[in-house]
Chain A
Amino acid sequence: MRVRSSVFACFCLVLEVLGIALFLRGFFPVPIKSSFSSKSKLSDLPPEPFTGSSLNSSKVPDPLFKRVVIVLIDALREDFVFGPNGRMYMPYIRHLVERGSTHSFVAKARPPTVTMPRIKALTTGSIPGFIDVVMNLNSPALLEDNLIWQAKTAGKRMVFYGDDTWVKLFPKHFMEYDGTTSFFVSDYTEVDNNVTRHLDSTLKRDDWDILILHYLGLDHIGHISGPHSSLIQPKLMEMDDILKKIHGSLILKEAEGALPYLLVLCGDHGMSETGSHGGSSEHEVNTPLVLISPAFKKKVGMEKPSTVEQVDLTPTLALGLGLPISQNSVGRLIQPVVEEASLRDQLRFLHLNGHQLSYLLKDSMPAYEKEEGYEQFRVAEKSHGNWVKLVVEGNTSEVLTNMGKKVFKQYLEALRAMSAALSKQLGKYDMYSMVVGMVLVFQLLLLLLLAMPEALSSASEVDLPVSSALLSLPFYLLCLLLSSVHVLVCTSAESSCYFCSLSWGLVFGAVALSSALLCILVSMAARRRAKPPGKSPSHGGVSGGWSLSELDILLLVGTAGHTLSLSASSFVEEEHQVWYFLLNTLCLVVFQDVCRKYFRERRANIGRLEDEDYLLPSNEGDAVASPLADLGVTDAGSERWLALATPPLTLACCRLLRSLNQTGVQWAHLPDLGHWLNSLEHKMVLSLFAALSLALIYFLVQRRCSWVSKIALALGLLGVYSYRAAVGNVVFPWQHGGGNMSKGTVEARFVYVFVLGILFTGSKDLLRSQVITADARLKSRGLWEIYSGVVLLVALLFRAHNLPVLCCCLLVQTLMAQFIWKKLHYDAAQTTIMHYWFGQTFFYFQGNSNSIATVDISVGFVGLESYVEAPAFFLTALSTYAGPLLWAAHLVCYLSSEKRSSVAVGHGCYCLALLRSVPAAAYVVLVTALRYHLFIWSVFSPKLLYESMHTLLTAAICLFFTTMEQSRSSSRP
């Protein structure tokens, strides 16, 4: 079966995406959940251990606190309270920490340090799976057993004000609530005032038991200007005042004889030195936890707060309120909180906590009995029983106290061990699904590689021996073998695999596909071996034959080197450095090529060139017909100088853009131009920059559009500016009183209209060129219009300080296309690799990195009133991958421009698919090999998500390529 190389590439890439999806499903462990669908009930609680016959009191210990107020300050970092600046930032709380009746801890949040997983962790006590990050914005109701549900079931009346993630997670749980959206990241006063405005009336009333406040302002300040900004201190002082007010009113309300109150101050996660969060650096992970209650002993001075896990708060609160601990909690009781209770009660608390942990352990681990913690717990329970018996018998000797202390220690030890075992359990992988996905990806990569000579030949067609493979005996044998392996694995494995749970039809499809691929691979390899390697190689380059030019060597070595570099965590964190480095070298090598061409030519003109065999194809014909005319350049001499100036100019652009957004991990905290531009006093400069960039974007894009699109583009770009002005990023000349900030919905929708209009015009031209007239010029204009529509959309989504990135991207594309790629006669493969490299580099120029924290989710709301999943996801993906997307779009436009040979698009598509498959396949293997690496969750997993997303995007681009080529071949009768 002969297929065109673009179709072939598409087919491989789409299947590869499926393979990667299967791998991802196996790689990201589903968080441990006990199999019981019910929730913990009071009646299920175990009785107090007692050796002997009767007197089993199944009574739950009384609650320790009557009312609980939880003040959660988003992104509250540990050193904001406990650090040297704490006294300045939060004087009242700091005073309480040092002198009041409080307990303070550093609570460690588990990565991913993103708000929703943290809220889930705080309420369920379990550690949410990594995949929860992806669902961060779309938060469906929490069905798992959790503290809030328990409190509601126990009849506690709860009031909530703050981030509406809570309201979505716990619908109908709160007696009274007001959710604020965190959607408007540049607002840091209004969100908090919306919470505080209810406070006075609520504090006066008596009809609630639990009050939860979630303040978002600090997090927004962090995102805007980082942890050292001047906005931090006023915000923290505001928080301090609020806490003082709450504390004061709680003290006033306190009645003699009744149970005491508990005031909890905590943070969901910290913030990094750049003000973002999501990763696992010390500053993101360490949050303060301050518990204030008259039940505690008064402190006499500042002590170094001890460290607990964030999930430990859940069982502590549950026991403190007399509620059952939620089933999936892996936390353990924070012991100092209960230290004022009687020894018998303390033991009882520890026993309840241990009982819940041992149940979870039993449920999630087949070999639970061999666990150290489980055994310890059994021993402790037994001695606890003995101790209770002695107490009940009225024994009050010294020995009894010592024995009780021993039991106490045993319990603590057992809790620690069980909690650790459960946390470790999280790192369990579904190896079978992973291996199946990996095998599929690798088969496709090999197929792509084996087909390289054919796919890049002048026919641009691949001969796949499909029918012979499907009719051969080995294919059926392989199917049988793989099916039996599947049955064997699925019946023997004790843990559940995703692949086994798939329906039989799907599994058989995968098995048949895999066997067919194997047969095709083998027969293709045999054919390759049989055929003498007579054809010229793909990367023959300009000189032809087997010799590789410096450029080819660089492109090959660079691609291989980058793939290898992914195996080191530092290189994954600092991947942008690798790309900047490679791109610089590429520009220098191109510069050398240009120099060589033009200087050698001059020598030739003078007539001193000896070897006539080395003469590049002369460019006299090109110079006249080239599109230089529209830049006003017709003279060959000035053209040469422009060509010579292009690589240095590109280098200068890259150097500038690189200092626009500091990214990565090690040097991310260094000051960059982006922060400088975004600070309030440089708003004027930012506005000028943005306006200038938009003007230049218009100038660069409008050249090849029809006049309708030109007008639409101009209006659209004006709309972009007014949107930025409406949001408050830039100043608008006719705007007075900059106080009123809106969401800019109207302006954004205005731009959307033009984007859709331009895209529509473009597609109409494309369709007409395909169906009615086979006009290459019309088609190229249609493509260009689609491209300019994408540019306009990206201009809307990019932050104001990133507009120069877009502008430089277009500038470099224009210059390179006109003076380098066309003039130096690079073939489609070389051009594609260069485009790919540029795309990758621009991905990082935008300020992206390989950590989840840099994904700018606020673009998901541009022009929308509220969160709608599909457009939000689409917009976020588009703006994150704008760099690679724009370069790929430019590649399509460039390769299908009139003068290219008709196979160029096919070659480009194939190269793009291969370029994406190599790192993706290598990375899948690497991640599997490094799955027990220390940084697997913080460094390698986010990168895996990025790689998968990028592969998905490339598959979409390749599909577009294929349709482009299809229309070309069909238009050629």
Chain B
Amino acid sequence: MWDQEIRQMASSHAIMASGVFMATVVPAVLVPGFSVYGTHLLWLYSVAGAVAVVNITLFWLLGVSSPTKKHTITYKVSRLVRSCLYLLLSCLFFHTVVILYGAPLLETALETFSLAVLLTSLTTLRCVCVLGPNVQAWIRVFSRHGAMSVWDTSLQMVVGCSVVGAWLGAFPIPLDWDRPWQVWPVSCSLGAVIGYLTGLVAAPAWIHWHRKHLTYKIK
């Protein structure tokens, strides 16, 4: 029944994954001295930017987002402003959470904030693209049995995987191996990106596997 939708999702996820890949490879060719560890923040922003651009274009083209009833300019502008506001708030939220987890308050504020930006681009941005700036819808999707379409399910999985990836990425930090990837926030951002990629692969696969059992309530 959703074969076409699943195929659509798989291909769009492939594009997103290649976006991350390109964001790592292209600067390596263009910028001298670029490396994931050495110039970590550059890599981080390039990935975040790439993910943002690819997500926005893809979801705009696909038109997954809930159809808007009104088409006035003011409504669209207010939606855009609200989206930006939510993204900013989400950056601040992630920043606070990371500090609560024990990141130094002031010394590494830039690194911490960059990680928050990356996490926002991997998670909140997708929420905004799929669900629009609608907090009620976000809460619905992330509560139990809240998914209403395959896109909701994939959103749950990708967001979950990214966050869990970042969470797991924090574990090697206390080890005294003195490796370049143990520098804050390298392991966490690597974990988040790896989790994101895993989510991109896992979501269509899981939905395909479980398509017989999945039932969504019709809106």
Give the interface of A toward B (CB within 8 A): 543, 549, 568, 570-571, 573-574, 577-578, 580-581, 584-585, 588, 592, 595-596, 599-600, 603, 610-611, 614, 651-652, 654-655, 658, 664, 666
The reply to whether B144 and A584 contact each other, CB–CB distance below 8 Å, is no
Which residues of A have CB within 8 Å of B145? 611, 614
With CB as the reference atom, state the residue of chain B lying closest to A654.
B100
Give chain B nearest CB distance to A882 CB in angstroms: 22
Q: What are 21 A-B contacts with C-beta separation under 8 Å?
A: A549-B144, A568-B175, A570-B174, A570-B175, A570-B177, A571-B174, A571-B175, A573-B174, A577-B102, A581-B171, A584-B100, A584-B102, A592-B142, A595-B139, A596-B144, A611-B145, A655-B100, A655-B102, A664-B174, A666-B174, A666-B176
Give chain B nearest CB distance to A399 CB in angstroms: 55
With CB as the reference atom, state the residue of chain A lying closest to B148.
A610
Interface size class, chain B: 20 to 34
The reply to whether B174 and A577 contact each other, CB–CB distance below 8 Å, is yes
Q: Within 8 Å of chain A (Cβ to Cβ): is B10?
A: no
CB contact under 8 A between A652 and B174, given known A611-B145, A614-B144, A614-B145 = no
With CB as the reference atom, state the residue of chain B lying closest to A575.
B174
A652 to B167, CA, bound (A): 19
Which residues of A have CB within 8 Å of B102? 577, 580-581, 584, 655, 658
Q: Within 8 Å of chain A (Cβ to Cβ): is B101?
A: yes
A878 to B106, CA, bound (A): 36
Give chain A nearest CB distance to B90 CB in angstroms: 15
A252 to B139, CA, bound (A): 88
Contact with B101, one of A568, A573, A581, A610 (Cβ below 8 angstroms):
A581
The reply to whether B175 and A610 contact each other, CB–CB distance below 8 Å, is no
Binary per-residue interface labels of chain B (168-205) against chain A in the complex, 1 for a CB within 8 Å, 0 otherwise:
00110111110000000000000000000000000000
Q: Which of B101, B136, B139 has the most CB of A within 10 A?
A: B101
Ranked 9 nearest A-B pairs via Cβ: A574-B174, A570-B175, A651-B100, A577-B174, A570-B176, A596-B143, A655-B100, A584-B101, A599-B139
Which residues of B have CB within 8 Å of A652? 100
Q: Within 8 Å of chain A (Cβ to Cβ): is B213?
A: no
Which residues of B have CB within 8 Å of A664? 174
Q: Which of B126-166 contact A (CB under 8 A)?
A: 136, 139, 142-145
A611 to B143, CA, bound (A): 12
Which residues of A have CB within 8 Å of B170? 581
Q: Which of A543, A585, A588, A652 has the most CB of B within 10 A?
A: A588
Which residues of B have CB within 8 Å of A603? 136
Which residues of B have CB within 8 Å of A574? 174
Binary per-residue interface labels of chain B (65-109) against chain A in the complex, 1 for a CB within 8 Å, 0 otherwise:
000000000000000000000000000000001011110000000
The reply to whether B97 and A588 contact each other, CB–CB distance below 8 Å, is yes
Contact with A610, one of B136, B144, B217 (Cβ below 8 angstroms):
B217
Which residues of B have CB within 8 Å of A658? 102
With CB as the reference atom, state the residue of chain B lying closest to A659.
B105
The reply to whether A655 and B143 contact each other, CB–CB distance below 8 Å, is no
Which residues of A have CB within 8 Å of B177? 570
A557 to B97, CA, bound (A): 21
The reply to whether B143 and A600 contact each other, CB–CB distance below 8 Å, is yes
Give the interface of B toward A (CB within 8 A): 97, 99-102, 136, 139, 142-145, 167, 170-171, 173-177, 217
Identify whether the interface residues of A are mostly helix, strand, loop, or mixed.
Answer: helix
Which residues of A have CB within 8 Å of B167? 585
Which residues of A have CB within 8 Å of B144? 543, 549, 596, 614
A658 to B144, CA, bound (A): 33
Number of A-B contacts (CB under 8 A): 50
Which residues of B have CB within 8 Å of A654? 100
A651 to B170, CA, bound (A): 18
11 extra interface residue pairs, beta carbon distance < 8 Å, beyond A570-B176, A655-B102, A666-B174: A543-B144, A549-B144, A574-B174, A577-B173, A577-B174, A580-B101, A581-B171, A588-B97, A610-B217, A652-B100, A664-B174
A596 to B174, CA, bound (A): 33
With CB as the reference atom, state the residue of chain B lying closest to A595.
B139
Which residues of B have CB within 8 Å of A577? 102, 173-174
Which residues of A have CB within 8 Å of B139? 595-596, 599-600
A573 to B176, CA, bound (A): 10
Which residues of A have CB within 8 Å of B99? 655
A463 to B175, CA, bound (A): 45
Give chain B nearest CB distance to A544 CB in angstroms: 12
A595 to B135, CA, bound (A): 12
Which residues of A have CB within 8 Å of B217? 610-611
A577 to B182, CA, bound (A): 15
Which residues of B have CB within 8 Å of A581? 101-102, 170-171
Which residues of B have CB within 8 Å of A611? 145, 217
With CB as the reference atom, state the residue of chain A lying closest to B173.
A577
A620 to B176, CA, bound (A): 53
With CB as the reference atom, state the residue of chain A lying closest to B105.
A659
With CB as the reference atom, state the residue of chain B lying closest to A543.
B144
A577 to B171, CA, bound (A): 9
A655 to B100, CA, bound (A): 6
Which residues of B have CB within 8 Å of A549? 144
Give chain A nearest CB distance to B219 CB in angstroms: 9
A584 to B96, CA, bound (A): 12
With CB as the reference atom, state the residue of chain A lying closest to B163.
A588
A658 to B103, CA, bound (A): 11
Which residues of B have CB within 8 Å of A573? 174
Give chain A nearest CB distance to B140 CB in angstroms: 8
With CB as the reference atom, state the residue of chain B lying closest to A587.
B100
A666 to B99, CA, bound (A): 19
Which residues of B have CB within 8 Å of A596? 139, 143-144
Give chain B nearest CB distance to A21 CB in angstroms: 31
Which residues of A have CB within 8 Å of B174? 570-571, 573-574, 577-578, 664, 666
A177 to B217, CA, bound (A): 89
With CB as the reference atom, state the residue of chain B lying closest to A606.
B136
Give chain A nearest CB distance to B67 CB in angstroms: 19
Which residues of B have CB within 8 Å of A651? 100
Which residues of B have CB within 8 Å of A600? 139, 143
Which residues of B have CB within 8 Å of A592? 142
Give chain A nearest CB distance to B179 CB in angstroms: 12
A581 to B99, CA, bound (A): 11
Give chain A nearest CB distance to B80 CB in angstroms: 25
With CB as the reference atom, state the residue of chain A lying closest to B135.
A599
A925 to B177, CA, bound (A): 24
Give chain A nearest CB distance to B43 CB in angstroms: 25
A581 to B101, CA, bound (A): 6
With CB as the reference atom, state the residue of chain B lying closest to A569.
B176
A573 to B175, CA, bound (A): 9
Give chain A nearest CB distance to B48 CB in angstroms: 23
A570 to B97, CA, bound (A): 25
A603 to B138, CA, bound (A): 13
A573 to B174, CA, bound (A): 9
A375 to B86, CA, bound (A): 79
A792 to B179, CA, bound (A): 47
A577 to B184, CA, bound (A): 15
A571 to B176, CA, bound (A): 9
A239 to B59, CA, bound (A): 76
Which residues of B have CB within 8 Å of A599? 139
A580 to B98, CA, bound (A): 12
A580 to B145, CA, bound (A): 31
With CB as the reference atom, state the residue of chain A lying closest to B172.
A570
With CB as the reference atom, state the residue of chain B lying closest to A565.
B171
A258 to B136, CA, bound (A): 96
A571 to B173, CA, bound (A): 10
Give chain A nearest CB distance to B152 CB in angstroms: 14
With CB as the reference atom, state the residue of chain B lying closest to A664.
B174
Which residues of B have CB within 8 Å of A571? 174-175
Give chain A nearest CB distance to B137 CB in angstroms: 11
A585 to B164, CA, bound (A): 11
Which residues of B have CB within 8 Å of A568? 175
With CB as the reference atom, state the residue of chain A lying closest to B175.
A570
A664 to B175, CA, bound (A): 12
A830 to B177, CA, bound (A): 36
A574 to B174, CA, bound (A): 7
With CB as the reference atom, state the residue of chain A lying closest to B217.
A610
